[in-house]
A and B are shown apart, each in its own frame.
Chain A
Amino acid sequence: MKRQEKEEVKVEKGKLKENIFLFLIIFFFFTFTSTFTYAQDREKAVSLYKESVKFFEDGNIDKAIETIKEAINADPNYPEAYDHLGYMFLKKGQLDEAINAFNSALKINPRMRTSKTGIGSALMKKGDLKGAESILKEALILNPYPSMTHYVLGLVYEKLGDYEKAIMHYKEGIKTYKVRIGKE
C-alpha cells in the first residue's frame, strides 16, 4: 500500500513538473511572441510616423493625417503619433479633434509637454484664453525646451491685451531657444 502510494505521489510530482514545464514554455512563447509583435508594430508605427511628417512638411495634410492614423492603428500606445495628429488637426482648424488627440497622447504619457502646449494653442484658438494660460503654465514647468510654450503664452497675453506679459514671454522664448538635434 505504502509502495503504491509512493508511486502515485511520484506520478503526481512528475505530472506537476510536466505541467510547470508546459506552463513555462507557453509563458515564454507568448511573452516572446507578444514582445516581438509589439516591437514589429512599433517599428511599423515609427516608419508610418516619419512618412506622415514628410507629407506634412510637403504641405499634404490630408495624406499626413491618413498616414498617422495608420501608425496609431499599428501601435495604439504611441503617444508621439497622437501628438502629431493633434498638431495636424490644429493646423486644419479642427480644434476639438486636436484636443482629443493631445489628450490621448497625455493618457499614455502624462508628461508629454508638446501635447500640453498643443492643447494650450487649441484652447487659445477657441477663445478660452484663461484655460489656455493655465495649461501653458503647466507645460512650462514640464518643459526643458520652453521656447514654443513661451511663444504660445505670448500670443495668449497679446490677445488678453497684457502686452507687458506678452513681451516678457516672447523675450524668454528667444532667450531659451537653443539649437539642438531633433524636434522640440
Chain B
Amino acid sequence: MEAKKKATAKILPLLLLLFSVFYLVTLPVSALALLQTGAQAPEFALKDIDGRDVSLSQYSQKKAVIVLFWSTWSANSPKAVKRFEEFHRKYRDRGIQVIGINADNQTISKEDVENIKKFLKEMDVTFPVILDKGLKTFHDYGVIALPSTVVISEGKITYEMPGLPLVGTEDMFDYLFVLAGETPKKKIEPRYVPHHDAVANANLAMRFVNKKMYEMAYPLFRKAIEKDPKYMLPYVEMAKLYNVEGKLVEAEETLRKALSVEPDNVVVTGELGYILSKAGKIKDAMYILERIVKLNSHAPIYYYYAYVLAKNGQMKESMNAFDKAIALNPYEPMIYLLRAEVYENSMMLKEAASDYRKAIKLILKIRE
C-alpha cells in the first residue's frame, strides 16, 4: 500500500507535467511568436492587391521564398521594394519567389488600397503583393521594423533581416545570389542555425510565458541555453521575464552572460541598456546604447535609447528618438508603453493616458 502511494506520488507530477506540455504544444501558434532562424515559418493565406488568394504553402516547391514586409509610409521601403523587384525579374525562373506583404495599416481602407496600387504602379512591381488584414502575419513573424525581410526554405526561416542596414543588406543579397546559383562575390560563412532542441525548449518556454506560467518557463529557457549557448533568444527572453518579475539583478546577469558569448549582439546590448536604466545605472546604460544606436536602425534600440535619454533629463532628444522608433515600427506597443511612462513620470498625464491607450489597443488588437 505504502509502495503504491509512493509510486502514485512519483507518477502524478510527471503526468501533470506531461499534460501541461501536451496542452501547450497543442495551442495555436502565438501571435507573439518570435522571428528566428531555424524556426518553422508561420503559414499565411491572404488576398493579393487584386483579390487573388496567395499562401506561403503554394510555393512549397520553390527553392526559397523571400517575404518582404513593407509599407508605403516607411522611409526605406521604396528602396527595399526596388531591390527585390530587380532581384525578382532576374531570378524568378531559378526557383526563388519574392512575396511582398504590405503592412500600411491595421485596417486597410479602399483609399489605402488605391494608395498601395499607385505606389506599386510607380515602382513597376511584378512580384505578388498581399494585404495583411489586421496585421496578423506581421505579428506572427514578430516583425520589429519596416521594411523587414524573411527568407524561407523548406518551410523554415533561413535568413531574417529587420530594416535595410547598409552592410547587412549586401550580405543578405550575397546569400540570395548564392541561392539563385550565382558565384559568391566573397566567401560566405555558413549561417548560424540554433540547435533544434534549444529552439524547441525556447518555444515551449515562450508559450508558458504567454500563459503567464513563469515558473514553468525558467527551467526551459535554462535548458535551451545549456543545449546551445550561442542561441541568444532564450537569454533575452529570460531576462525580459526576470524584468517582468522585478528581478533586475538576475536580468542583468543573464544578459551579461549572453554578451560574454557574443559581445556585439545588438539585441542583447539593447536589452541590457534598458535593464541598466531601470536599475538606475543611467551612465552605464547611456554608454552602451549611444554606441549601438549609431550603428543600427532597429526600433527597439531607438526606444530603449529614448527611455534612457528621458531618465537622463534629455527630454527633447528622448522624444526625437521615440519618433524614430515609431517611424520604423508604429505597431510596437513597447514604444508607447515606455513613452507613456516617461510622460507619467513628468506628470504629463494627458499625454501618458493617450500613449497607454495606443499600447493597449495594439496589445488587444483592437480595430476601430
Contact = CB atoms under 8 A, between A and B. Distances in A.
Interface of A: 57-59, 147-148, 150-151, 154-155, 157-158, 163-164, 166-167, 170-171, 173-174, 177-181
A164 B349 contact: yes
Contacts of B361: 151
B64 interface: no
Contact of A173 (B30, B134, B353, B360): B360
Contacts of B195: none
29 contacts: A57-B133, A58-B133, A59-B133, A151-B357, A151-B360, A154-B357, A157-B353, A158-B354, A158-B357, A164-B349, A166-B353, A166-B356, A167-B340, A167-B344, A167-B349, A167-B353, A170-B353, A170-B356, A170-B357, A171-B356, A173-B360, A174-B360, A177-B364, A178-B210, A179-B30, A179-B31, A179-B211, A180-B211, A181-B27
A148 B353 contact: no
Interface residues of B, number: 27
Given A154-B353, A154-B356, A167-B352, A178 B212 contact: yes
A174 B363 CA distance: 7
Contacts of B337: 174
Contacts of B30: 179
A179 B357 contact: no
Contacts of B356: 154, 166-167, 170-171, 174
A69 to B, nearest CB: 23
Contact of A170 (B27, B133, B212, B359): B359
A158 B27 contact: no
A179 B206 CA distance: 11
Contacts of A174: 337, 356, 359-360, 363
Interface secondary structure of A, over-half rule: helix
B352 A163 contact: yes
Given A154-B357, A173-B360, 5 more contacts: A59-B133, A151-B360, A163-B352, A177-B363, A177-B364
Interface in B311-353: 337, 340, 344, 349-350, 352-353
B211 A170 contact: no
A163 B359 CA distance: 15
Contacts of B357: 151, 154-155, 158, 166, 170
A57 B365 CA distance: 13
B11 to A, nearest CB: 28
A173 B364 contact: yes
Given A170-B359, A178-B211, A181-B27, A151 B364 contact: yes
Contacts of A157: 353
A29 B210 CA distance: 50
Contact of B349 (A57, A58, A163): A163
Given A151-B366, A179-B211, A163 B31 contact: no
A180 B30 CA distance: 9
Interface string B236-268: 000000000000000000000000000000000
B190 interface: no
B364 A148 contact: yes
Question: In this complex, which of B337, B359, B364 has the most chain A Cβ atoms within 10 angstroms of its Cβ?
Answer: B364
A152 to B, nearest CB: 10
A98 to B, nearest CB: 15
What 5 pairs between A and B have smallest CB-CB spacing?
A170-B356, A163-B349, A179-B210, A166-B353, A163-B353
Nearest to B210: A179
A148 B363 CA distance: 11
Nearest to A171: B356
Contacts of A166: 353, 356-357
Contacts of A179: 30-32, 210-211
B13 interface: no
Contacts of B212: 178
B181 interface: no
B211 A163 contact: no
Nearest to A166: B353
Contacts of A163: 349-350, 352-353
A113 B362 CA distance: 22
A59 B359 CA distance: 24
